[in-house]
Amino acid sequence: MKNILKIISFLFLTSSSVLADQPKNWQLGFQDPASTGMESIVWFHDYMLLPVTTAITVFVLFLILYACVKFRASKNKVASTTSHNTTIEVLWTLIPCLILIVLAVPSFKLLYEQDTIPKADITIKAVGYQWYWGYEYPDENIGFDSYMVDEKDLKANQPRLLTVDNEIYVPVNKVVKVLITANDVLHAWALPSFGVKRDAIPGRINETWFKAEKTGTFYGQCSELCGIKHAFMPITVNVVTEDEYATWLNDAKQKFALEDTSSNIKVVKNEIKKLN
Ligand SMILES: [Cu+2]
């Protein structure tokens, strides 16, 4: 049974190892998972939802065909007047309830996993703007904007509509917490390979997390209609080794240094103390 399901998934419905870390032409199903969170989502889809929905669809199709043949007009000159059958009514209430309960258990487990953020190794703040993303690494005091690269400026192997000028870098196998907000209208920060998608809401900070399990470049897009250039504010994440991350961080601290506000904060705190 498992093998048959695997073959069906491979042929039609899910991503396979053939698909990499960005959307592909004619793709069906998910992108390749690159985090434990996304692996759980794919498992839930492939081995819980898909078998259940397939079974229900096939069963209902069978019932319709059976009824069409068995109760066709030519064989049933006098129509049946049956309107109630207690056994069947109990069954068609109880069985769907049981199916929902069986689905609810792994579903809630998954939701809980996504919602509980482990101790973060790295925190990134993503701010949605019309129409680009701004990023900050609050612990490193760096920040930069990330604009899409125009089609005419793309280098070889850079995907159209997904490449940005300043990519985010994160180390592999580390817990990355992402704080997500927006400056103007609703946006959404989404990265399919990591199983991450959160609304970016002005005046509110949403949180999510991921732990990338392999190195590479991963692509996502704004996933909330945010205006005329909604399709042109991609998200690019480079997952690198710890050494490469340290090298990038060193450069980034020169290139993207934010104004050091710690002394200002001290002044403000002192003033508040005086007032009290
Ligand atoms: Cu947007």
Compute the distance from residue 272 Cα to the ligand 1 centre, in Å.
38
pLDDT tens digits along 84-98:
999 999 999 999 999
Compute the distance from residue 64 Cα to the ligand 1 centre, in Å.
44
Compute the distance from residue 122 Cα to the ligand 1 centre, in Å.
24
pLDDT given for residue 18 in this prediction: 36
**What is the percentage of the chain residues whose pLDDT exceeds 90?**
67
pLDDT given for residue 80 in this prediction: 82
Phi-psi region of 264 (alpha: psi -120 to 50; beta: other; left: phi over 0): alpha
- Please determine, for residue 20, whether its predicted confidence score (pLDDT) is greater than 50: no
Local confidence band at 11 (pLDDT 50, 70, 90 cut-offs):
very low
Radius of gyration, CA atoms only, the chain: 26
pLDDT tens digits along 74-84:
988 888 888 89
pLDDT given for residue 21 in this prediction: 72
CB-based burial label for 139 (10 Å; 0-12, 13-18, 19+): exposed
Terminal-residue alpha carbon distance, the chain:
72
pLDDT given for residue 4 in this prediction: 59
Local confidence band at 26 (pLDDT 50, 70, 90 cut-offs):
confident
pLDDT given for residue 208 in this prediction: 95
pLDDT given for residue 2 in this prediction: 54
Q: The whole model's pTM is what?
A: 0.78
Cα 15 to chain centroid, rounded: 15
- Please determine, for residue 15, whether its predicted confidence score (pLDDT) is greater than 60: no
**Sheet of 234-240, strands arranged across:** 168-171, 234-240, 216-222, 187-191, 196-200
Compute the distance from residue 251 Cα to the ligand 1 centre, in Å.
28
Compute the distance from residue 186 Cα to the ligand 1 centre, in Å.
7
CB-based burial label for 35 (10 Å; 0-12, 13-18, 19+): buried
Compute the distance from residue 168 Cα to the ligand 1 centre, in Å.
17
Compute the distance from residue 167 Cα to the ligand 1 centre, in Å.
17
- Please determine, for residue 153, whether its predicted confidence score (pLDDT) is greater than 80: yes
Mean pLDDT of the chain: 88
Q: What is the pLDDT averaged over residues 131-138?
A: 94
Q: What is the pLDDT averaged over residues 257-271?
A: 79
- Please determine, for residue 149, whether its predicted confidence score (pLDDT) is greater than 60: yes
pLDDT given for residue 101 in this prediction: 95
